[in-house]
């Protein structure tokens, strides 16, 4: 059976047309703070792939903080914006795409999580799930929604949509190929974790959830462990998925999986 995935930016075309005659009537774009950098991934390219891809799917504007450690592949680096009081203030959602797994400063990690616990929505991509895993606190893991400490080798993943009725997943294929990616192993799923898609682990001989939503304190959180390479990041299905997840986290996605009126991509 063939499945057709309608791009997110086309799902609400009729709704957008109602604003076309009066652009001033449209809501202001969602302010997205993307925090990125760290080891093992091409963040210089990924930040642009994400910013451009998501901007063509939703009414968003990006502020990007890309910070690397002074020493290559130093996983203990602490991103400087997190050290500021009210670091997330003024943003509608934080998109995490970072990879600093060896940070052990509990107070630092808890302060990142607290901004979300207090109500700022989050989108967690790929290695953000493994970030801060060396810290002896569970607050970041509760925020993400799962505990994961390792992944399987890079290979093709066959993703299964296990909750097609959820607004984030409506209209997506029941199965699709995520080429050349890493399957993160679920060690613990926290209490508010809702699995949306999974793939089979060749090492563990069991399924692992790789797309989900979560509630942490007052915040909605969307997460996926997909996204190791630029091929996945550039894939239309992946970008549609993250676009949907971001809108859901901001409570701007209808029950039918369409952007709330005014939050479709603005036409240029």
Can you spell out the DSSP letters for 112-155? HHHHHHTT--EEEEGGGGTTTTTSS-SHHHHHHSEE---BPPSE
Q: What would the mean pLDDT of 116-128 be, rounded to a whole number?
A: 98
- Would the CA dihedral through 77, 83, 86, 89 be positive or negative? negative
| Cα distance between residue 101 and residue 82, in whole Å | 15
Tell me the CATH class for 29-249: alpha beta
pLDDT in tens, 23-75: 557 799 999 999 999 999 999 999 999 999 999 999 999 999 999 988 887 89
Residue in 129, 124, 133, 150 with CA at minimum distance from that of residue 75: 133
Terminal alpha carbon distance of the chain: 36
The DSSP symbol for 180 reads: E
Residue in 86, 91, 116, 98 with CA at minimum distance from that of residue 192: 116
Per the listing, tokens 């304190």 go with: 217
Q: Which residue has the higher pLDDT, 267 or 190?
A: 190
Domain ranges across the chain:
29-249
pLDDT in tens, 208-264: 999 999 999 999 999 999 999 999 999 999 999 999 999 999 999 999 999 999 999
| Cα distance between residue 70 and residue 170, in whole Å | 43
Residue in 189, 236, 234 with CA at minimum distance from that of residue 211: 189
- Identify the three-state secondary structure at position 268: coil
Q: Can you spell out the DSSP letters for 80-95?
A: GGGGSTTTTTT-SEEE
pTM for the whole thing? 0.91
Per the listing, tokens 């399924």 go with: 207
Confidence category of residue 268, pLDDT binned at 50, 70, 90: low
Q: How many angstroms separate the Cα of 196 from the Cα of each of 15, 193, 201?
A: 27, 10, 16
pLDDT for residue 107 is more than 50: yes
Q: How many angstroms separate the Cα of 235 from the Cα of each of 54, 192, 203, 214, 252?
A: 12, 28, 26, 24, 23
pLDDT at 50: 98
Cα-to-chain-centroid distance, residue 42: 16
pLDDT at 1: 26
């Amino acid at each position: 059976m063939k499945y057709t995935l309608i791009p997110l930016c086309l799902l609400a075309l009729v709704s957008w047309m109602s604003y076309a005659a009066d652009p001033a009537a449209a809501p202001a774009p969602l302010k997205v703070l993307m925090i990125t950098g760290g080891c093992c991934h091409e963040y210089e390219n990924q930040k642009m792939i994400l910013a451009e891809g998501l901007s063509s799917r939703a009414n968003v504007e990006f502020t990007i903080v890309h910070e690397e450690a002074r020493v290559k592949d130093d996983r203990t680096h602490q991103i400087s914006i997190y050290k500021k009081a009210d670091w997330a203030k003024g943003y509608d959602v934080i998109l995490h795409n970072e990879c600093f797994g060896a940070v052990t400063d509990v107070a630092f990690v808890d302060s990142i999580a607290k901004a979300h616990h207090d109500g700022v929505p989050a989108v967690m991509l790929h290695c953000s799930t493994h970030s801060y895993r060396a810290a002896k606190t569970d607050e970041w893991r509760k925020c993400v929604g799962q505990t994961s400490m390792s992944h399987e080798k890079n290979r093709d993943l066959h993703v299964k949509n296990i909750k097609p009725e959820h607004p984030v997943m409506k209209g997506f294929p029941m199965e699709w190929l995520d080429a050349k990616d890493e399957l993160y192993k679920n060690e613990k799923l926290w209490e508010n974790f809702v699995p949306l898609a999974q793939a089979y682990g060749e090492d563990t001989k069991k399924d692992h959830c790789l797309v989900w939503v979560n509630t942490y304190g007052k915040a909605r959180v969307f997460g996926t462990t997909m996204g190791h390479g630029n091929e996945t990041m550039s894939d239309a299905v992946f970008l549609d998925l993250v676009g949907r997840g971001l809108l859901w986290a901001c409570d701007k996605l209808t029950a039918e999986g369409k952007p709330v009126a005014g939050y479709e991509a603005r036409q240029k």
